[in-house]
Amino acid sequence: MIEVEGRQVYNPAWAWALELRRDAWQKPDEVLRALALPETARVADLGAGGGYFTERFSRALPRGHVFASDVQDGMLELLEERVRERNLTNVTVVRGAFDDPGLPRACCDLIFLSSVYKEILERVAYMRRVRPLLRPGGRVAILEFRPGVSGPGPPEAIRLSPDAIVDELARAGFALVESHEFLPRESFLIFELAAGPSP
């Protein structure tokens, strides 16, 4: 870990380790199938890191667009390099902030957070800032390590239960619409804007 703006974040020098055998336990092809995105969808990959999911979204959405957002220079450089070297012409790399994704209003059909949500300090406030980024019918998908699951992953003390995530998203004005169980280590929750006035 390294410190950025007084917060502990993953060291970009070890970004390669984030992709070791990752396909086996995160099942990215199955995740994308479950999301059932049209080819024209616009997606924001928040906390995109080195671009593991960014590249997959880019290739799955040939007539769509992907915003790859991160908060630290090292990861942004890795994202830019991946986009350039792999000719991901429908990807825009965005510098986010710890309290704001840094994206334009009504930009996305899907906001995607993979193993990132737990690292947001003021999560309810942050997700309230996500609401205006969604187009009509837009969704938020969150993948997070479940408590009590063995194997590599974040410390048990910072893991969030699916119920805790659902509760926080409800306070931010979202309703759970899907919960997938096929990932061995992570919860996979999909939300839409809740009916009624914004919280």
pLDDT at 19: 55
pLDDT at 148: 93
* Residue 198 banded pLDDT, cuts 50, 70, 90: confident
How does the average pLDDT of the chain come out, rounded? 89
Which CATH superfamily is 10-193 part of? Vaccinia Virus protein VP39 (3.40.50.150)
91-125 pLDDT, tens digit per residue, is 999 999 889 999 999 999 999 999 999 988 899 99
Tell me: pLDDT of 3 over 60: no
- Residues 182-188: what's their mean pLDDT? 95
**Cα-based distances in Å from 154 to 7, 53, 119:** 16, 19, 10
* Residue 18 banded pLDDT, cuts 50, 70, 90: low
Q: How far apart are CA 133 and CA 128, in angstroms?
A: 10
- Residues 163-189: what's their mean pLDDT? 97
Q: Which amino acid is at 38?
A: P
- Which phi-psi region, left, alpha or beta, contains residue 92 (left: φ > 0; alpha: ψ -120 to 50)? beta
Domain segments of the chain as ranges: 10-193
Strands (E) in 19-128, as ranges, are 42-46, 65-70, 91-95, 108-114
pLDDT at 13: 46
* Residue 58 banded pLDDT, cuts 50, 70, 90: very high
Strands (E) in the chain, as ranges, are 2-4, 7-9, 42-46, 65-70, 91-95, 108-114, 134-145, 174-180, 186-193
This prediction has a pTM of 0.90
